[in-house]
Amino acid sequence: MGQSPALVQYQAQNNVAAATFWFYHSPAQLGYRHYSEAVLRRLATDGAPQAQLLLAQHLLKQNDFDGARLYWQQALAAKDEQGTAAQLWLQLAETLAQQGQWQALAEIGRVYPLPDELEYRRRFHLGLKVGVEGHDVAKSLGFSTDLRQIQAQSCRYNLLLLGNSLAAMNKLQQLRRRYQAKPEPDAGLLCLSEPHYLGDTLNCQGTSNSFSRCDWQPLAQKPEQVPAGFDFIVMMTDGGLANVQGGIMQLGVNAPYHVFIHELLHFSGFTDEYPAPKAQQEACEQQGRLYANLVVGDKAPPGWAPSAYCGNGRGYKPSAGQSLMEQSEVGVTPLYRNLWLAELARPKQHIRFADLFYRLSGQTQWREYRRALNNKNDA
């Protein structure tokens, strides 16, 4: 069996019979790369891990995930081949990452440890916990994993950006860049923090047909873990309809930018201008200005027009035309920008997440947290 490696390669790469012969008589001489699919399939069937991995790669590029998985699972059983196939495992893992097959990476990682950078990317994508070791990887991806290191800026209001997956981090980065390019309603009023990765710290639920909801108890019970000086929270999750409750905005990653701006106005005392749910119609029996953009009464104030918010016809909004509080695609008109500016000039009127966290936990530190916000605004 004194054939040269070059000759063995020449004989084996397109010849099933020759490749099979060398696999059983001198397997170390087989190179596997650039072999035809027919040759790889035969060698994979005969139990060659390198052929199984190369064939899995080939099938992944054809979007045949199930077929590829069959072959790499066979290769996983051949642990003694880790040394000769290590580079092939790494290439397979990178391909799986590119295709977003994060659960498959976990399956491989249980046998062959993934490189740190790839392992942390997997954890970030799946919303799993990461230790302090993941901080550098997160920083290279443009977000934080140490909540206590985030600092409020010198704006009237500061928004803490949180998310529970890499998709959420990417979305928050996009929102932040776009907002900073054109801040609303004016520069220096609302500052958005660096995005922070929470992983599975919170239990969040939401679908395309239901509101995004998170259980905030884990953070509310630990005020020492929340950085000082923040007024509102923007929480990005993998799914759920946008909403604001108690100084917290919750968004799904598919929410467009204009929905984010719409929800920002809810922080500042604006309500929706489409029909309110039945549970909120009781407000329409009251009298006076209930929200920045809703007056309830028997007669419209000068310049105001009927609002669809109230089913009883007693609600009025600032203008007859559609605004972003009815159709968020409309954007911020000059009238609503001025109303927004006026509301932001009354900081003590608006609910902050510290108020909600105090109600949830009873922790008196949250009252002190809110008092500090009031003192900052007074100054």
16: in domain: yes
Per residue in 237-264, is it b (16+ CB within 10 Å) or e — as a string? Answer: bbebbbebebbbbbbbbebeeebbbbbb
What's the average model confidence in pLDDT over 116-144?
89
Dump pLDDT digits (tens) for 298-333.
999 999 999 999 999 999 999 999 999 999 999 999
Number of domains in the chain: 1
192: in domain: no
DSSP letters, 56-107, are HHHHHHTT-HHHHHHHHHHHHT-GGGHHHHHHHHHHHHHHHHHTT-HHHHHH
Residue 24 predicted with pLDDT over 50: no
224: in domain: no
Domain that holds residue 11: 5-114
Residue 22 predicted with pLDDT over 50: no
180: in domain: no
90: in domain: yes
SS3 call for 21? helix
CA distance 372 to 215: 25
Q: Kindly indicate the confidence band of residue 41, based on its pLDDT and cuts at 50, 70 and 90.
A: confident
63: in domain: yes
Dump pLDDT digits (tens) for 253-267.
999 999 999 999 999
129: in domain: no
157: in domain: no
CA distance 379 to 362: 28
CA distance 112 to 89: 8
CA distance 80 to 284: 73
